[in-house]
């Protein structure tokens, strides 16, 4: 199995070169990164729980980490030879396949490009050709997306087309799949699945997604999937109205067999946005407290909260620090997106109508990856930003290498060719994102 880890995780793992403690590694990591001690320890704790089964206790002298997972830091720390070329893979390592724009739900916070009908979806022989093209282009992983991928009746065959070519498939759904579908998924070798679930409270589920018994049905589905050997992750979108439901929801999902329980704060949606759904700093702190309680009580599961302070809450200094150290954009650098009609796009979170690189019926995946249209999105010329802070920015090239989030620029201004709204150089009114 191929696993990607970000540089921070790679550096942290490389520090476990001999039997050592988290506290010792945390102190070295603090020195290297300037992160606060508490944040570093919490990062290491997530890192070790993420890698359960691969890593063993560093204090266990019989089978210490470095014997199981030797990582020589000199094997990945390097000086770029040509610093002006952005780090970009020669072929896409992964892709998002939006199999359909259909979805049976009607969530108030919907993040997906959802169309009821009237759009082209590929049939299985066409998907089979695309799977072959992806495998030949060197892709090793994919994320099935939508709409809801399970709105397609033939989704098992779709997944099989990629799995049988050695492409690692990750998929998420809000659908209630039933025993037969889960058994088939297990038979074809799907080893993990993500279920979206918002609450066990019927009134909330009815209000938020239009299905009163959704939470309970997902809990039963987690139990079934786990019994069939499929690892389950659940993701819950936090709004001001379901924070009080988290303890009961978390307990239910963990006891049903979920290995990873993720709570993630509502973020501005390009499709169905409401300011009312943002959580406040107090609500975030309440969620942190609940998540910590769940994690302490269930050390064998991973319970995580993705709810950072929004950029509008930060001081100028904090904002600059956060923006300069932001995660690299992977769109067009490591991955791309394939839409239901075989159009290829840049980032899954950007509606198809914004950027169309080409279509797989006319060109191969690798030729689209290498196309000028794709390169213009990865390295947009300065002229595109005429009249904005980016046009005159002294760090434009460095910023391009890391990537500005075109999706968030669209959210804030309606156009991709504007500064990343999280950037400290933005002087106009700030748009809240999370
Ligand atoms: S988003 Fe624009 S203004 Fe901000 S650092 Fe990047 S290039 Fe400069
Ligand atoms: S454009 Fe934004 S959302 Fe899309 S991959 Fe890049 S950073 Fe992520």
Minimum-distance ligand 1 atom for the alpha carbon of 404: 1
Any atom of ligand 1 within 6 Å of the Cβ of 104: no
The 10s digit of each residue's pLDDT in 399-417 is 999 999 999 999 999 999 9
CA distance 1 to 167: 10
What's the alpha-carbon Rg for the chain, to the nearest Å? 22
Q: 3-state DSSP call for residue 39?
A: helix
> In degrees to the nearest 10, what's the CA dihedral of 355, 360, 366, 368?
-30
Q: 3-state DSSP call for residue 258?
A: coil
Please count the other Cβ atoms lying within 10 Å of the Cβ belonging to residue 184.
17
Q: Which ligand sits nearest to residue 331's alpha carbon? A: 2
Q: Probe ligand 1: pick from 419, 421, 428, 430, max atoms within 8 Å of CB?
A: 419
The 10s digit of each residue's pLDDT in 154-211 is 999 999 999 999 999 999 999 999 999 999 999 999 999 999 999 999 999 999 999 9
Q: What is the pLDDT of residue 74?
A: 62
Please count the other Cβ atoms lying within 10 Å of the Cβ belonging to residue 83.
10
Q: Which ligand sits nearest to residue 111's alpha carbon? A: 2
8-22, 93-107, 129-143, 157-171: which has the minimum mean pLDDT?
A: 8-22
Any atom of ligand 2 within 6 Å of the Cβ of 422: no
CA distance 374 to 59: 48
Classify residue 309 by its DSSP letter.
Answer: P
Q: What is the pLDDT of residue 117?
A: 66
Reported confidence tier of residue 9, pLDDT bands at 50, 70, 90: confident
Higher pLDDT pick, 386 / 80: 386
The 10s digit of each residue's pLDDT in 92-104 is 999 999 999 999 8
SS3 content of the chain, % helix, strand, coil (to 5): 40, 10, 50
Q: List the structure tokens of 279.
A: 């959580």
Classify residue 382 by its DSSP letter.
Answer: G
Q: Residue 43, Cα to own-chain centre: how many angstroms?
A: 17
Please count the other Cβ atoms lying within 10 Å of the Cβ belonging to residue 9.
17
Minimum-distance ligand 2 atom for the alpha carbon of 405: 2
Q: 3-state DSSP call for residue 141?
A: strand
């Amino acid at each position: 199995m191929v696993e990607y880890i970000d540089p921070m995780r790679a550096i942290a793992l490389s520090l476990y070169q001999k039997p050592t403690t988290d506290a010792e590694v945390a102190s070295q990591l603090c020195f290297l990164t300037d992160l606060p001690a508490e944040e570093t320890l919490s990062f290491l704790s997530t890192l070790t729980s993420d890698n359960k089964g691969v890593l063993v206790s560093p204090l266990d002298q019989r089978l210490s980490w470095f014997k199981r997972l030797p990582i020589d830091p000199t094997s990945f720390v390097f000086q770029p030879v040509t610093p002006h070329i952005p780090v970009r893979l020669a072929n896409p390592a992964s892709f998002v396949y939006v199999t359909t724009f259909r979805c049976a739900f009607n969530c108030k916070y919907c993040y997906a490009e959802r169309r009821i009908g009237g759009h082209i979806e590929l049939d299985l022989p066409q998907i089979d050709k695309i799977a072959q093209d992806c495998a030949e282009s060197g892709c090793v992983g994919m994320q099935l997306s939508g709409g809801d991928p399970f709105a397609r009746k033939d989704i098992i065959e779709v997944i099989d087309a990629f799995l049988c070519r050695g492409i690692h498939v990750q998929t998420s759904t809000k659908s209630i799949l039933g025993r037969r579908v889960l058994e088939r998924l297990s038979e074809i070798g799907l080893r993990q699945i993500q279920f979206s679930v918002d609450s066990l409270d019927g009134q909330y589920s009815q209000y938020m997604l239009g299905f009163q018994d959704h939470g309970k049905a997902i809990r039963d589905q987690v139990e079934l999937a786990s019994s069939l050997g499929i690892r389950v992750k659940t993701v819950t979108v936090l709004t001001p109205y379901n924070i009080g439901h988290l303890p009961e929801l978390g307990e239910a999902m963990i006891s049903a067999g979920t290995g990873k329980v993720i709570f993630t704060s509502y973020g501005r949606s390009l499709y169905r946005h409401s300011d009312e759904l943002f959580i406040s700093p107090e609500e975030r702190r309440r969620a942190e407290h609940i998540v910590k309680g769940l994690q302490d009580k269930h050390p064998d599961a991973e319970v995580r909260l993705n709810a950072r302070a929004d950029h509008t809450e930060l001081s100028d200094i904090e904002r600059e620090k956060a923006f300069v150290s932001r995660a690299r954009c992977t769109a067009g650098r490591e991955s791309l997106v394939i839409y239901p009609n075989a159009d290829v796009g840049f980032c899954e979170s950007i509606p198809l109508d914004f950027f169309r690189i080409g279509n797989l019926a006319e060109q191969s995946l690798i030729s689209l990856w290498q196309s000028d249209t794709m390169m213009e999105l990865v390295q947009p010329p300065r002229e595109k930003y005429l009249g904005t802070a980016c046009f005159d920015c002294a760090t434009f090239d460095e910023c391009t290498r890391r990537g500005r989030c075109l999706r968030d620029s669209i959210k804030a201004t309606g156009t991709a060719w504007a500064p990343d709204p999280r950037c400290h150089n933005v002087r106009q009114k700030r748009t809240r994102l999370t």
